[in-house]
Amino acid sequence: MILVLGGTGEARRLASELPDVISSLAGRVRTPRLPPGQVRVGGFGGPEGLRQWLLSNKIDAVVDATHPFAARMTATAAKVTAEESIPFVVLRRPGWAPGPGDDWHWVDSVAEAARNLPAERVFLTTGREELAEFADLGNWFLARSVEPPEPPMPRRLQVVLDRGPFTVEDELALMHEYGIQALVTKDSGGDMTAAKLTAARALKIPVVIVRRPPLPDGVSTVSSVEEAVSWVRGIAEA
């Protein structure tokens, strides 16, 4: 049995291409997009909870296909699987790289992004749980979320409830409607959420991008669903 730590488009694809998969979702969204097959929702209760779950469910290998910023889950999974000699691989889509016409400003955290906003009217796409970092600022903010955010939040905040993926035309229309002057985002990578970057380039607005947290030392990585499938099949053959 393979455990896929999910919540991403890659995780859903992986679950559809492999037999004997259990997908695990963090449960932060009340109505998540469920992958095919068996699904569990919610945390494991820390390292010991994860250890007992892996052993009791006779998991043969773990694929971490979580969001690139789910650093705590990745670190926990890497530690526990190493201690229990369970094969473990991290599936991470390639990060973004600026192109001609981009005005990108890299930072190491959302808190640093909040200290380096280049404009008054800002489109925040760092996630509803990160809005607290901007709560004390006087800028005007637009935030898009699947579910309503909870305090603390910026006092000048417009929330748009919507679920992607979004096209470049969608993002251009949204940024025009709200007079956006800067974009703040995380280096999620991949094509599914890159439309906002293309729109920012077309509008010539600056983008503040939070770098990904480093992966734990020594973990194996793949960069595509196809590579992850091959890795799992190699484990099965071994």
- pLDDT tens per residue across span 140-160: 999 999 889 999 999 999 999
Amino acid 33: pLDDT: 82
Shortest CA distance to 126 belongs to which of 92, 154, 97? 154
Q: How wide is the angle at C-alpha 85 spanned by C-alphas 93 and 225, nearest 5°?
A: 20
Report how far residue 66's alpha carbon sits from residue 7's, in angstroms, rounded to the nearest whole number: 6
Whose tokens are 């992004």? That residue is 113
pLDDT at 236: 83
Max CA separation in the chain (angstroms) = 58
- For residues 132 and 151, give the distance between their C-alpha atoms in angstroms, rounded to a whole number: 7
Give every CB contact of residue 20 below 8 A, 6+ residues apart in sequence.
Answer: 1, 2
Q: Which residues of the chain have pLDDT under 50?
A: none
Note the helical H segments in 39-167. 46-56, 71-83, 110-114
CA distance 58 to 48: 15
User: From the CB of residue 212, how many other CB atoms can be counted at a distance below 10 Å?
Assistant: 18
* Cis amide bond preceding 154, omega within 30: no
> Which secondary-structure segment (H or E) carries 185?
strand 182-186
Where does residue 42 rank: exposed (0-12), middle (13-18), buried (19+ CB within 10 A)? exposed
In the chain the domains, ranked by start, together with CATH numbers, are: 2-93+214-237 (3.40.50.720), 104-210 (3.40.50)
CA 76 to chain centre: 17
